[in-house]
Amino acid sequence: MQVNRGTYHFTVEAEGLATLPLTIVVSQQGTYQTEFTTTQPNMEGNSKSNFTFNATLKNRTAEQQLYSLRAQAARGWNVVFKVNYKQATSAQVEPNAIENIQVEITPPATIEAGTYIIPVEASTTATSASIDLEVVITGSYQMELTTPRGLLSSDLTAGDTKRIDLVVKNSGSAELNDIQLSANKPADWEVSFEPATVEKLTAGKST
């Protein structure tokens, strides 16, 4: 129930015996609001990082509230809410009480470096609040070297020369530059690469 600030007068009666006048002063305007806050709304890491935000959910209403916990994340992102260290999709909060909420965010493995906003919300049919959580992906550095068919062995006659095609793949989320190709070879063997250097290879690409 919402009650405005002011002075309210009541009379308590014991029928036929006595009456007792009462005065109640409401000194602060009541609210029907929710507060959902965090002291650290921004985190930074590479695409393989897990980001855990600690949030506080305060029920400033006069009634117990069962809040639904939701996140608006793009496809591939995984967002998990935890209440009392247990995974949950809702949180029950008593009037004027506080509940600590953990928000664990995992980005897609192949996401590119950049800044991403993940809105999270706690809501009921009567009240709601939201936070914009910011995740800064610095990029991960990972590279694969293989052959077009994945075969890693071949036959060669002594004295002959054989060409073997190689595939260099940037399997991380950050651009790779100045990739040098070299070989550890047995004595008297000759190994050369063409080209011997890959100047630039963007995330997810192969050459």
The whole-angstrom separation of Cα 2 and Cα 9 is 17
What is the C-alpha end-to-end distance of the chain, expressed in Å? 67
Report yes or no: 82 and 88 within 8 Å, Cβ to Cβ: yes
How far apart CA 91 and CA 36 sit, in angstroms, is: 12
Does the predicted model carry a pTM greater than 0.75? no
- Digit-coded pLDDT (tens) for 5-53: 678 888 888 777 788 888 887 665 555 789 999 999 999 998 889 999 9
Q: How confident is the model at residue 4 (pLDDT cuts 50, 70, 90)?
A: low
Spatial CA neighbour of 135 closest among 63, 76, 83? 76
pLDDT digits 0-9 by tens, 80-112: 999 999 999 999 999 999 999 999 999 987 788
Strands 18-26 and 65-71: unpaired
Over its C-alpha atoms, the chain yields an Rg (Å, rounded) of 32
Q: Among residues 20, 18, 17, which one has the least CA distance to residue 9?
A: 20
